Chain A
Amino acid sequence: MRHPTEGVLRRLLDEPAGVADSDRQHVVGCPECLAGLAAMRADAALVEAAMATDGGADVDVAAAWQRLSTALAATGSGHAAAPRRAGRSRGLLRRPVVAAFAVAVVLTGAGTAAANDWFQIFATEQITPVSISTADLIALPDLSAYGDVVVTGDAEPHEVADAAAAAAETGLDVPEVTTLPQGVTGEPVYQVSGEVSATFTFSAERAAEAAAEAGETLPPVPPGLDGSQVRLNAGPGIALIWSSQAADVPALIVGRAVAPTAFSSGVPYETIRDYLLSLPGLPDDVAAQLRTFTADGSTLPLPVPADEVTTSPAEVDGLPATVLVSRDQTMAAVVWVDDGVVTAVAGALDADEVLSIAGDLR
């Protein structure tokens, strides 16, 4: 039998499983090939040693990400470069801070009237996904460790008879799906939910206690922040739900709600935001993203579990939209905002299907 090539012998050193059985059997019984293999092994070891490095081991990925985020911001859409964060961070504090923003999303909602002593933080015009690992979302702790949270209104959805009843109860235009995707049939169930408002009052004392319990020191609280409030308004909203015969998850959901707004009192929102950003627990990447999308005060953070969902930008009727697709490709959703109203189409479909339904909505 002829000898295997040098390339095959070389691979035998690294990936024996990638070499054909016949070649391996030949080499074992061939003094010439074994000698060649030994020479190759010596050369490979020499080169390996010459290039040896501790390489990327124990690099500070968080600090490096922060550096990159700063560079991206500086070279990007004209936003001022974010200041470089010092320190290594990562403590138990991270979750409450993330939670503050997660609340903003969970309670996405609309407020009609802002009282005089409230500054508007954002009126949603656009939604930007923020990657957060699922663990963070599941493990959201009680914000009461950092102040008082008061929720008013009733977000609990309830069923109504038809589109007319849903429109009457919410004042929203009920979306109408002109063409159902293949496999989805019948009439939807109509659900509505009312307007909800949540008010979070920051307490420096409570935050300091929570920080101490987590073994961290609370950064100095800016004047006026203690006792200041953030109010988030959400709803009302409508959901059209087509059930699926097979699975527990609905085949198709079309949802629409008055888009969220947020207000702060006492101190400007930037002060609260920058303070939250200075807390030791906030992941650098999340911080960088928060800085960017709050720059014009019109964008709502939408935390998505990065390990389960991928996001991409798209357009629906000329408006910027965000497409979310589950990593197993079984679910897709598209969400966009039009004139203060957020609409979402989601289901056991692919991205093209949800975009097609979204574009045909009336």
Chain B
Amino acid sequence: MAVSGSARGAVRADLDEIFRRDYELVVGVAARVLGSRDQAEDVAQDVFLSLGRSSVPAGEARGWLSVAAVHTALNLLRSGRRRTSREETAAVAADTLVSDVAEAVVTLEERSHVRAALARLPRKQAVALVLRHSGLSYAEVAAALDLSPGSVGTTVRRAESALRKELNRHASSH
């Protein structure tokens, strides 16, 4: 007898379940990079579309999706296919992205500096940083990026340090 997997490029059967479980997370991950909910949802669509055609094990889907979301969002940042700053300002206002705490310490301009700096970081640092701030555990970040759990803290720390310097540089140049 023949036993084999599906021959045609079918959509994986557990996509629905994974989507319901992780969609919110993936949008959150992309939104941290892009600062726009709408764009983040576009990125999430792309990423889940890829997952649907893939055979990534279900247990690894969360990490895979998160990493893919950061890469896709960073690529979007770099490609310049972004809204003009005026549109972005409106979008930020509309999305009420700015929490009370953030409002106190970080201006809109600083946010855009951080995004630009994020896009310039080594990819691994940028991904580790965004994943960590999106709520993934050190173990999850380590598994997703093929890092040792011990080096996740170091990688995240380096990224944060680089971003803070970037912010300070802009602050002192004013």
Binding site for B on A (CB under 8 A): 5-11, 14-15, 18, 40, 42-57, 59, 61, 64-65, 67-68, 71-72, 75-77, 129, 131, 285, 289, 306, 310-318, 355, 358-360
Contacts and interface: CB of A to CB of B under 8 A. Distances in A.
Contacts of B52: 68, 72
Nearest to A361: B1
Contacts of B58: 310
Given A8-B153, A315-B2, A15 B138 contact: yes
Contacts of A43: 160-161, 163-164
A64 B37 CA distance: 13
Contact of A15 (B6, B114, B137): B137
Contacts of A51: 32-33, 35, 111, 114, 118, 130, 133
Interface in B27-42: 27-29, 31-33, 35, 37, 40-41
A56 B105 CA distance: 23
B68 interface: no
30 contacts: A7-B152, A7-B155, A10-B157, A11-B152, A14-B132, A15-B138, A18-B149, A46-B106, A49-B102, A50-B111, A52-B97, A53-B32, A53-B35, A53-B40, A54-B96, A54-B99, A55-B29, A55-B134, A56-B27, A59-B24, A61-B19, A68-B52, A77-B10, A129-B13, A312-B5, A313-B10, A314-B4, A314-B5, A359-B1, A359-B2
Contact of B11 (A48, A72, A129): A72
A8 B161 CA distance: 15
Contact of B163 (A6, A47, A358, A360): A47
Interface residues of B, number: 72
A43 B160 CA distance: 6
Given A11-B153, A312-B5, A47 B129 contact: yes
A54 B106 contact: no
A55 B28 contact: yes
B119 interface: no
Contact of B153 (A6, A53, A311): A6
B167 A50 contact: yes
A64 B49 contact: no
B97 A49 contact: no
Given A15-B137, A47-B160, A56 B23 contact: yes
Contact of A316 (B1, B133, B134): B1
A55 B27 contact: yes
Contacts of A75: 49
A250 to B, nearest CB: 23
